[in-house]
Structure formats: C-alpha cells, structure tokens
Amino acid sequence: MAGFFEGINKVPFEGPSSVNPMAFRHYNPDEIVMGKRMEDHLRFAVAYWHSFAWEGGDPFGGQTFERPWYPQDDMGRAKMKADVAFEMFDILNAPFFCWHDADIRPDQGNFADNLSTLDEITDYIGEKMQTSGTKLLWGTANMFSHRRWMSGASTNPDPDVFAFAAATVKSCMDATHKLGGENYVLWGGREGYETLLNTNLGQELDHMGRFLNMVVEYKHKIGFKGAILVEPKPQEPSKHQYDYDAATCIGFLRKYGLENEVKLNLEQGHAILAGHSFEHEIAVAVADDMLGSIDMNRNDYQSGWDTDQFPNNVPEVALAYYHILKSGGLKTGGTNFDAKVRRQSIDPQDLIASHIGGMDVCARGLKAAAAMIEDGGLEAALDTRYAGWQTDAAKDILNSDLESIANIVLDQNINPIPVSGRQEILENYVNRFV
C-alpha cells in the first residue's frame, strides 16, 4: 500500500480502561444496543473531502498539509489518494464513506472531461470497494468551489450554469448508483445570495424547486432506491443560503410538492450557525418524518463560521441520538463526520486519532441515549405533562371552535393552575446517563 499510514495498525477496541490513544475505548461494532449491533445503529461514514481533499487552508492562510497526492490535478495522484483513503477506511474499520465528485477526480474545466474522469475514478473506487468492507453512504456534486458556481448552481442567473448543474448532478447520481450508494445528497452552498440588490429571490427559489423535482424524477427513472437528501445551512459561503435550517427546508419541500420524496441531512455545526441546538433540528425533522441522515461534526460555540470539528461533547451527542433513537433510528442514513482535523494537525496520525475520538464520543452518546430510552424516565415525564390531552373533553376542544370554547370557559369558570416544568429535574435525570 501507499505507506502513508506506516506504523499505524487497524484500530482495536480495548474498552474504557485503555490508555492507548490509537484504540477504541467505547466503539465496539458488534456490541448489541437495544437489540441491534452498534455499527448498524451508528453507520459511521468518513468524508473524503475533509480528510483527503482539503489542504489545510483558511481565509488567512494557505496549505499546511503536505500529502503525496498533491497537487490534486492529475488522475494518477487521484488514484493514490483513493488508495490512501481506503487504507484509512480499513484502519478505522469504517462501514461507509461519502464523496463529492470534486474530491475524487481532478476538475477538468469542462463537463465532458469531468464526466470521463469521474467514470474512471469511480471504476477504480468500485474495484477497491470489492475488497473493502467500506460502502458508500452517499455521493454528491460539489457545485460551489469552481468559479463557474460563484453565483449559484440551480439558482444561477445564467441558464447555462443551471444546465451545467443538471448535467453534473446527473453524472453524480449515476456514479452514486453505480457504487451502490445508499443516499444522494444536495447541499446548496451557493444557492443563496450575497446581496438582495442583485437577486430575484422568488425566481431563484422556483428554479431550485424545479431542479430538485428533476432530481427526484431522475432517481425514479434510474431505479435508485436510496433517499434524496437536502442539507440545511444558514450561510457561509453565501451571506444567506436558501436552505437556512430544517424548518425552512421542510417549508420549501412542501411548497414544491417534494415533502414525500426528499428528506434532510442535518449537521450539528449548521444547526449552531442557524441559532438552534442540534436536537432541535432533529426534533423538527422528526415531527415531519423528514430525518434522513446526520453530519455529526461540531462547531465551536465562540466562532461564527463553520469549524467542522469532530464531536467531543458526550452530553450533547447523547441528546441528538436520543431523538434519533426515539424516531426509530437511522435508516438509509448514517453518522457522517463532515469534520476536518485542525490545520495544525498535520500528521497522518492526527487523521486517524480524530476519527477514533469522534467514533468513541458517538458510541458513548448512543449508549447513553439507549439507556435513557430503556429507562423511560423522559418519556414518562412527557406523558405526565401532556396527560390532560388524553381526556375526551380535551379532544373535544381541539375539534371545537372559538365561540363554543369561550362559552365552556365562562360556564365552567376555567382558570388554569400553573404546573412546574421541572426542567432542572429532567436535566439532572439526563446527567445520570451521560
């Protein structure tokens, strides 16, 4: 193999008392949690872009990593990158990975050549998948990095860009289908605006709605069985993105008749940027049965941009999995790490250790969430709090009208008595498990 991870062995599970930084302490794929293997609950995926395509730059500085597959403009080095990627998947025993087209093939500057290089590299990756245990969680098209996308993809003022985007998504859906991908994701980083002064917001939304309908139509045409997912984010790179948050996306899907066809890929970091907790976004999606998959990477609470860090706070992660498990768990979706090591973490070991840490944190969170569900304390508290709504009188009220209800209030002199919300007691309860 490439030798990039020389000296780093397959990561063993050694249990909570291990002090080996290159071992799992909590993630034990075969451990049964609520009747299912832990691996099958969590369905971890490694993100190709952050681990292999990102070079360590930020808005004030350039490349810090030095990888043998740089510069990334050549098919030979793209294959070397794939070799190293699968080496890492094996080291981690990662069940899934995810890619953008631009992560895996060099950009050729025109559609025809992008298509043929995508074909070539996905053939190559497909062969590697034959002998690897790692499957494709989802594929997606990068329609935000190249300058052609600077004013949007499906929402671009130029119809040529819309067309280029349509062709690109078709090619990525085909490639995802070919590789047995379990979902296809669309993230609209440039589907938004820098200034309303030059933007026809209504028209752009209509174009985006039409585009997404085409995606759904094509999915059915080719018999792709996976889920189509959109990914909310409020801003960055755009000043304002149309897929602001879960509620906005759900409203959009409903407007364009897609509420039964498309689900959400939710990211913790994006939730934070939109002013929400991650469990809020999950609960909103669950309430409309639109939870698809998650990106379990945290944002720094003191930074106003997307830091895409590996999760490291078990209590927070546990609440996310609590809502996921309560909704029935991840189905075609998984737990993707849309996470990158810090740009100072330049060693190959950092790449592996960061994933170990993230996977362990998720495993602890999952087990805590399962324990809370099995204990039933939160659910029981909810039942008690909303018990009044189980009465016939309460159900009658919901089917009534303002005038009749007003008469009931007057006749019965209804005067509600406040009841404690017991928030701290519930928070203490959670702390028994995390």
CB of 236 to a copy of itself, least distance (A): 7
* Residue 35 makes contact with a copy of itself by CB under 8 A: no
Known catalytic membership, residue 100: yes
Identify the residue among 136, 290, 314, 366 touching a copy of itself (CB under 8 A): 314
* Residue 94 makes contact with a copy of itself by CB under 8 A: no
128-167 residues in contact with a copy of itself (CB under 8 A) are: 144-151, 156-164, 166-167
Known catalytic membership, residue 26: no
SS3 148: helix
The smaller minimum CB distance to a copy of itself, of residues 45 and 362, is found at: 362
CB of 29 to a copy of itself, least distance (A): 19
Specify the amino acid at residue 432.
R
The span of 39-47, 86-94, 129-137, 406-414 binding a copy of itself (CB under 8 A) equals 406-414
* Residue 116 makes contact with a copy of itself by CB under 8 A: no
Q: Measuring CA to CA, how many Å separate 188 from each of 151, 176, 196, 394, 401?
A: 11, 18, 17, 43, 43
Rg of the chain over CA atoms, in angstroms?
23
The span of 4-12, 92-100, 176-184, 421-429 binding a copy of itself (CB under 8 A) equals 421-429
* Residue 380 makes contact with a copy of itself by CB under 8 A: no
The span of 5-13, 77-85, 178-186, 413-421 binding a copy of itself (CB under 8 A) equals 413-421
* Residue 371 makes contact with a copy of itself by CB under 8 A: no
With b meaning 16 or more CB within 10 Å and e meaning fewer, what string describes 230-249?
A: bbbbbbebbeebbbbbbbbb
| CA dihedral sign of residues 56, 61, 64, 66 | positive
The span of 2-10, 38-46, 124-132, 298-306 binding a copy of itself (CB under 8 A) equals 298-306
- Exposed, middle or buried by CB within 10 Å (0-12, 13-18, 19+), for 88? buried
Report yes or no: 49 and 339 within 8 Å, Cβ to Cβ: no
* Residue 382 makes contact with a copy of itself by CB under 8 A: yes
Name residue 337's beta-bridge partners. Answer: 46
The smaller minimum CB distance to a copy of itself, of residues 3 and 304, is found at: 304
Q: Please state, in angstroms and rounded to a whole number, the distance separating the CA atoms of residues 308 and 337.
A: 9
Catalytic residue among 100, 207, 323, 355: 100
Catalytic residue among 101, 103, 245, 295: 103
Identify the residue among 32, 36, 37, 63 touching a copy of itself (CB under 8 A): 63
Half-sphere CA count of 24, side-chain side, radius 13 A: 22
Q: Measuring CA to CA, how many Å separate 429 from each of 69, 193, 378, 432?
A: 50, 44, 8, 5
The binding track of 257-296 with respect to a copy of itself, each residue x by CB under 8 A or -, is ---------------xxxxxx-xx--xx-xxx--------
* Residue 223 makes contact with a copy of itself by CB under 8 A: no
How many chain residues are in contact with a copy of itself, going by CB under 8 A?
A: 161
Half-sphere CA count of 197, side-chain side, radius 13 A: 2
* Residue 392 makes contact with a copy of itself by CB under 8 A: no
Q: Please state, in angstroms and rounded to a whole number, the distance separating the CA atoms of residues 251 and 129.
A: 38
Q: What are phi and psi of 267, to 5 degrees?
A: -120, 135
Give me the active site residues, please.
Answer: 100, 103
